[in-house]
Amino acid sequence: MLEIRNLHARIAEDGTEIIKGLNLTVKAGEVAAIMGPNGSGKSTLSYILAGREDYEVTEGDILYNGESILELDPAERAAKGIFLAFQYPVEIPGVATMQFLKVAMNSQRKARGEDELTTPEFIRRVKEAAGELKINPDMLKRPLNVGFSGGEKKRAEILQMALLEPKLCILDETDSGLDIDALKIVADGVNALKRPDRATVVITHYQRLLDYIVPDSVHVLYQGQIIKSGDKSLALELEANGYADITGQAA
């Protein structure tokens, strides 16, 4: 589903190369974890997958279902079923979460050439997804993310993910500020939304997230490259020994 081939990318503004020949394959149905010490390029990789203009790909390719997405803008990528969780969710005062979800779902449907959802159908879908993810419906009446706790923001993010029915989900979890409850919400959401035709890439600094998500594959990103791949036992090894053993440096 996702194949990253010899990817090189730099910061557009000053030309600093951050991603330096990265290779990664993620199959449909798979949950892949990308781990690595701070400053390895994990967030940069997620921005590049989203299509942010602050970064330039100088070599290599990103294939999604066999087709390069490098020329697609973020909206086109989303329309094709690529979902990126915001690392810092935006607050939208004055717009109820329900209303935001409706606009997001309908704009994606429009991009796919599908009809707008009727209001009853929209409400049915939101209720179903909120139930599956154990989200209190009262939260949906409040403005999106405004005054939400860390856990509520994560729930809102996972709910968006469920409703937009993406094929490839990429979640970059910040290196700080996520308490264990928020990590559990993300993990439960990822587990609940696992499907044979959907792949999820979870980017995390924390081994402990993987106590709750059992990944099918684990990849270590270091200095802009994937330096080691394995199964979930690799995450346990990292938990026991830290990154120093594989990076060859104190980390």
Residues interacting with ligand ADP, by CB under 6 A? Answer: 11, 18, 36, 38-44, 54, 175
Scan residues 101-140 and list those touching Mg ion (CB under 5 A).
Answer: none
Q: Tell me how far apart the alpha carbons of residues 72 and 241 are, in angstroms, rounded to a whole number.
A: 40
Q: For the CB of residue 45, give the shortest distance to ligand ADP in the complex, in Å.
A: 7
Q: For the CB of residue 37, give the shortest distance to Mg ion in the complex, in Å.
A: 9
Q: For the CB of residue 11, give the shortest distance to ligand ADP in the complex, in Å.
A: 5
Q: Which residue is nearest to Mg ion (CB)?
A: 43
Closer residue to ligand ADP in complex, CB, 36/81: 36
Is 64:82 a contact under the CB 8 Å cutoff? Answer: yes
Per CB under 5 A, which region of 62-70, 125-133, 160-168, 173-181 contacts Mg ion? 173-181
Work out what residue 44 binds among Mg ion, ligand ADP, none; the CB cut-off runs from 5 to 8 Å by kind: ligand ADP
- Does 42 bind Mg ion (CB under 5 A)? Our answer is yes
The four Cα atoms 177, 55, 6, 169 give a dihedral, to 10 degrees, of 50
Closer residue to ligand ADP in complex, CB, 36/51: 36
Closer residue to Mg ion in complex, CB, 160/204: 204
Q: For the CB of residue 251, give the shortest distance to ligand ADP in the complex, in Å.
A: 11
Q: Judged by CB under 5 A, which of 6, 38, 58, 241 binds Mg ion?
A: 38
Which residues partner with 7 through β-bridges?
22
User: What are the C-alpha distances in Å from 13 to residues 17, 49, 54, 88?
Assistant: 11, 18, 7, 22
Residues making contact with Mg ion (CB under 5 A): 38, 42-43, 175
